[in-house]
Amino acid sequence: MNIIFLGAPGSGKGTQAQKVALENSICHISTGEVLRKEIACGSDLGKTVQEILKKGELVSNELVLDLLRNFLDTHKECKKGFILDGFPRNIEQAEQLDNFLLENKTKIDYVILLKVEDNIIIDRLSNRLYCTTCSLTYNKYTNPPQSSGICDKCGNELIIRNDDRPETVKTRLNIYHSQTEPLIEYYKKKGLLVGINGNQEPENILSEILGVLQ
């Protein structure tokens, strides 16, 4: 089973994708996460994209498709199925993905859209904490770690992501509306889109998604 998770930054894509991947024993591929790891390890690629991520802009389509191809090449277990989280982010990437899937004789089975209003997104992102080691996210108020500023899972210090600062969130939301939202129509036309209300308890969202996938 191959799935795309679509939604604004902060809509819960990453959290839900991690859980759904675990439930279905398939790969979770977050292009944002791959880019952040490159930045963290100080690679040439990381140095090139650092400023782009900090500003909340998109890296080039060529670069992100190369990253995806490379991820799939080096993670053969993804042949069993994968969840794309954060890719595609515009029509050109979606078309490139279609070609890639065709070449590899595979397809997307579902596109799950998590629907959350902008004011809720802004509120969520301004209170989000992130673990650079295991990528878990928390919310200072609605889902705080047991010990302040420390990840429950790996015990490392939690940070505020560079791109979760208010001015950058505005840019990311603008890009989402102008470049990513057209994908809703794109996948609706293909009969793949399933919309889920992303403004409910995470457990309820998860059970709705699992219900769709059954």
Q: How many CB atoms lie within 10 A of CB 10?
A: 27
Token pair 């919309």 in the structure block, residue: 195
Q: State the binding string over 128-167 for ligand AMP (x if CB under 6 A, else -).
A: -----------------------------------x----
For ligand AMP, the binding residues in 4-43 under the rule CB under 6 A are 9, 30-32, 35
5: closest CA among 109, 136, 76? 109
Annotated catalytic sites, by residue? 13, 89, 128, 161, 172
What residues contact 12, with CB distance under 8 A and at least 6 apart? 114, 116, 198, 202, 205
Residue tagged 């209300």 (tokens)? 197
Question: What are the phi and psi torsion angles at 24 (to 5°)?
Answer: -105, 5
Nearer of residues 90 and 205 to ligand AMP, judged by Cβ? 90
Site mask for ligand AMP (CB under 6 A), range 44-63, x = bound: --------xx--xxxx----
Smallest distance, ligand AMP to C-beta of residue 156, A: 18
Strand partners, 29: 84
| 91 sits near ligand AMP (criterion: CB under 6 A) | no
Tell me which residues touch ligand AMP (CB under 6 A): 9, 30-32, 35, 52-53, 56-59, 64, 86-87, 89, 93, 163, 172
